[in-house]
Chains A and B, each alone.
Chain A
Amino acid sequence: MTEKMEVFELDDDFDPMADVSSDELQDDEEMDALSNDYMAPIPDADKSVIPPKREVSAEERIAQLIVGLPGQKFRLLQAIDACRETRTLDELCASMEAAFPVQKTVFDAPQIVRLLAEAGAIDVQEVPLETADDQPESADADFIQVKPVSYNLYTASAAGLAAVEEGSGERVVLDMLGAEEDRYLPLFKQVLEMTAADGGCTAKELDLAISTNPICAEPRRYAGYFMNLLENTFAIQWTDAWSITETGRSVLQSDIFA
């Protein structure tokens, strides 16, 4: 048996407010504030002002949109490019779906179109619907019904076309290849050739062919490095397999690999 030790004792006289002098509690209002339910103050509430609206140019808005949706970059640019001639929404969506048939994204074609219109990349022209049975409704009609009153036509804006010129096409791929070391060019060519096969090729096939190449030994490079650069310039794309794009084909046939 060990001797029982009294280590703690209950302090019934404990007063949590004892350390707060009565001078600090200046008036009843302050006491009430302490006793009421705690309400978190809003810090610097007076500084919480909505900044004035800043006008942003179409060029800037388009750039922000493209940067904000990196996975949709070439779909955005393709949609603008398709609007070189005026199109209805159905025509535009059909064009987008033909260009990018495999889409695993929450951004459907009409949403892409709306985002582009809001950014100023495409101009929207509202055309009133004129139908033969379009009779004006009398004020005392008993029922009203939903009747689409207009439809939209879409045409690429100058700012939108400038973004297409700057962000896509053979020149963008060639610029990228030109910035890389010359010794890597055969590997870029090999990726393009492999993805140009019918049905494309898998990442595993590319990895086996590229990553084992002695050129990739120092510094250590893997197939993904080359694939990323080609994908980011839209020379290749993933459509259930890695496949070459039209841009990639024209680069493959250009003089750069000669």
Chain B
Amino acid sequence: MTETSQAQFAEALHGRMATYQFLARLFRVEVDQELYDILTAMKFPANTGNDLVDEGYRLICDYLSNAPEDVLTQLAIDYVRAFIGSGNDGYSAAYPFESVYTSPKRLMMQDARDEVLVLYRAAGLDKQDSWKEGEDHLALELEFEQILGQRALEAFQDGNEDSCFNLLIQQRNFLEDHLLAWYPMMAADLEKFPRTDFYRGLGRLTLGFLRSDLDLLNEMLVEEDDQTVAVALEA
């Protein structure tokens, strides 16, 4: 791997890690003043080559450009409308839990939660006491990808390529087995329940990013002779 391609590889790892962190934050709790200030100051990519990502960023940016004066209150209301809802039939919101979308009766704390909990613990992670929701919450699954991405980046920078690529394989498996196995269904619900383009945009952005990240991971990991080896990103 040349120095240029190494830098590009590290940059790609850093970029996807940052995006997972960004998305996890948006799904975890409502937008607060600190995050709002960041959102209004940041530059959103406009031509990523992924229509869903571009559309998602554009919707978020347009909403914030035309935001009402009490934007934080409106976003907080829409957060509840989008992710919590007011009904108890399991079809009143885009519930951000894998169990809801993978259990027959749309219940929380089902097998999917147990599965991801095992994976978190295998990675030496446990939820903080302050987190009162299930471990299969979308924000936690995205944060798990972020942490694995951060570890992969650190391993790559330390010259430990084997460890880096093992971590990338873990991320791809988690993406295929969990996030992409259920999030598309939630993304469909996120088209229906929010009233602001902010959360509609977030739904599309996340779906587009997860799909493009799988493509990126597949590109990074090429199977040759039964061994997973890395190829540098083409310039």
- Chain A contacts to B: CB under 8 angstroms: 89, 108, 110-111, 113-114, 140-150, 152
Residues 22-46 of B, flagged 1 when their CB comes within 8 A of A and 0 if not, give: 0000000000000000011111111
List B residues 8-67 near A (Cβ within 8 Å).
39-47, 57-58, 61, 64-67
Chain B proximity of A191: nearest CB distance (Å): 37
A150 to B70, CA, bound (A): 15
Give the residue name and chain of the A residue nearest to B60 (CB). A146
Cross-chain pairs A/B with CB under 8 angstroms, 8 sampled? A89-B69, A111-B73, A142-B45, A143-B43, A146-B39, A146-B40, A148-B65, A148-B66
Chain A proximity of B176: nearest CB distance (Å): 30
A114 to B58, CA, bound (A): 26
- Chain B contacts to A: CB under 8 angstroms: 39-47, 57-58, 61, 64-70, 73
A142 to B39, CA, bound (A): 17
CB-CB under 8 A from A152, the residues of chain B are: 69
* Additional pairs, 12, CB under 8 Å, beyond known A111-B73, A114-B68, A144-B58: A110-B70, A110-B73, A111-B70, A114-B69, A141-B46, A141-B47, A145-B44, A146-B40, A146-B61, A146-B64, A149-B65, A150-B66
> Main SS of chain A's interface residues?
mixed
Residue among A141, A146, A150 facing the most chain B CB atoms (10 A cut-off)? A146
A114 to B65, CA, bound (A): 18
**What 10 A-B pairs come out closest when comparing CB atoms?**
A143-B43, A110-B70, A146-B64, A110-B69, A146-B40, A144-B46, A144-B61, A144-B44, A89-B69, A111-B70
CB-CB under 8 A from B69, the residues of chain A are: 89, 110, 113-114, 152
Query: Given the interface contacts A108-B70, A111-B73, does A143 sit within 8 Å of B65 by beta carbon?
Result: no
A89 to B70, CA, bound (A): 11
Chain B proximity of A138: nearest CB distance (Å): 10
The reply to whether A140 and B70 form a contact with Cβ atoms under 8 Å apart is no
CB-CB under 8 A from B73, the residues of chain A are: 110-111
